[in-house]
Amino acid sequence: MSAPKERIVETTMKLFSSQGYNSTGINQIISESSVAKASFYQHFKSKEDLCVEFLNTRHTYWFNELDSFTALKNDHKSKIIAAFDFLIHMNEKENFRGCSFLNILSEIPNDNIKILKVIQEHKSGLRNYFNGLIQDKDIADHVYMLFESSIIESQLFKSNELIERSKQIVTNLIH
């Protein structure tokens, strides 16, 4: 059996993804991860701290998966198209769950700076990913916005149609 902190994070990953942040209580997490309440609070002072851990874990997982998915592509254009294919892959793998970061963003109050900062860092990392592949900053930002809107639309309509359309647009944008 894994360590208590690992069980808490694994359980949180599952529950936040399926139920959302606000609908998941600490007592449910404690119960389903089979840890003592004292053990939970030894690792996390609050649900907010647990959410930060969840988002940081998700960030690492997501970028590792993206990097693995695009690793065999040699040029920047192929890597960018593969990034959109990665969205299709994740939609199939996670049943159009959408972006964990935006899902949490929609549930937190506007003044929750601690969680907001982690979400902003993830999105900045993704924007920087495209800026690193595309020399033209305006085009890189445009591709980033297409990517982001593709995530939201595919979640909303449970369809990869806009991702496929975005790939066509990106193919025409990038030389």
Tell me the per-residue pLDDT of 123-164, one tens digit each, with 9 for 90 and over: 999 999 999 999 999 999 999 999 999 999 999 999 999 999
- Which residue has 């900062």 as its token pair? 117
Collapsed DSSP state (helix, strand, coil) of residue 62: helix
Cα→Cα distances 78→33, 67, 100, Å: 41, 13, 26
- Distance, in Å, from the CA atom of 119 to the CA atom of 115, rounded to the nearest integer, reads 6
| Average of per-residue pLDDT across 77-93 | 97
Half-sphere exposure of 109 (CA within 13 A, CB side): 3
**pLDDT given at position 29:** 97
Task: Return the number of other C-beta atoms located less than 10 Å from residue 168's C-beta.
Answer: 11
Give per-residue pLDDT as tens, 26-79.
Answer: 999 999 999 999 999 999 999 999 999 999 999 999 999 999 999 999 999 999
**pLDDT given at position 55:** 98
Angle (CA) 41-46-49 rounded to 5° is: 105
Predicted TM-score (pTM) of this structure: 0.94
What is the identity of the amino acid at 17?
Answer: S
Angle (CA) 168-172-174 rounded to 5° is: 115
Q: How confident is the model at residue 1 (pLDDT cuts 50, 70, 90)?
A: low
